[in-house]
């Protein structure tokens, strides 16, 4: 996006209406440059490799297309897995996913090593659409996005 250009409203990115409501609930009227550039190709199912500064909206830039593509898909199973290098980032992504999905049936959970399994297992079982693994060890951490098992939304 060129310097000085005006961002389109989120509605023009063709995101599911409930996701746009979630973005508005968080107080974001327009996508950031990284979101405006990354969301359209991601919605088309294309791979996106992007780099932007902290606080630029990178998390929403990849979470919103995932949630959009999951809308209307079968429920009751894990539908997305996000791998992260740290537990803090896994938790941040899970929290952001929950906030963006506030008007949807989606849920999210961060799963990682070094803490008791009971609460994480409960979060894992309760959250059947999103998982975010987070660790430098490939089997140690996760965060998940999930659909509820009930058919109602």
pLDDT at 140 (0 to 100): 41
Take residue 60 and report the two structure tokens written for it. 């929403």
| pLDDT tier at 23, thresholds 50, 70, 90 | very high
* Mean pLDDT for all residues in the chain: 76
CATH fold for domain 10-146 = Rossmann fold (3.40.50)
pLDDT of residue 88 exceeding 80, the answer is yes
Take residue 71 and report the two structure tokens written for it. 């809308």
106-117 pLDDT, tens digit each: 888 887 777 777
User: Which CA distances in Å does 35 have to 61, 77, 101, 152?
Assistant: 5, 27, 16, 30
pLDDT at 124 (0 to 100): 65
pLDDT of residue 72 exceeding 80, the answer is no
Domain boundaries, the chain: 10-146
Strand partners, 80: 130, 145
pLDDT at 127 (0 to 100): 57
Take residue 75 and report the two structure tokens written for it. 């429920």
The DSSP annotation for 63-128 comes to HHHHHHHHTTSPPSSEEEEEEESSHHHHHHHHHHHHHHTTTSS-EEEEEESSS-HHHHHHHHHH--
pLDDT of residue 63 exceeding 90, the answer is yes
CA angle 69, 18, 44 (to 5 degrees): 25
Q: Where are the alpha helices (DSSP H) in 3-79?
A: 17-25, 33-43, 58-70
Select from 67, 151, 57, 149 the least CA-distant residue to 103: 67
């Amino acid at each position: 996006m060129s310097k000085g250009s005006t961002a389109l409203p989120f509605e023009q990115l063709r995101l599911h209406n409930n996701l746009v409501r979630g973005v508005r609930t968080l107080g974001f009227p327009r996508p950031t440059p990284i979101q405006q550039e990354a969301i359209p190709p991601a919605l088309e199912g294309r791979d996106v490799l992007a780099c932007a500064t902290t606080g630029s909206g990178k998390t929403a830039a990849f979470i919103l297309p995932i949630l959009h593509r999951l809308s209307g898909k079968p429920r009751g199973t894990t539908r997305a897995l996000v791998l992260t290098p740290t537990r803090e980032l896994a938790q941040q992504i899970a929290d952001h996913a929950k906030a963006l999905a506030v008007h949807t049936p989606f849920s999210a959970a961060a799963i990682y090593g070094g803490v008791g399994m009971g609460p994480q297992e409960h979060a894992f079982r309760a959250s059947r659409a999103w998982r975010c693994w987070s660790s430098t060890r490939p089997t140690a951490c996760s965060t998940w996005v999930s659909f509820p098992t009930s058919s109602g939304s």
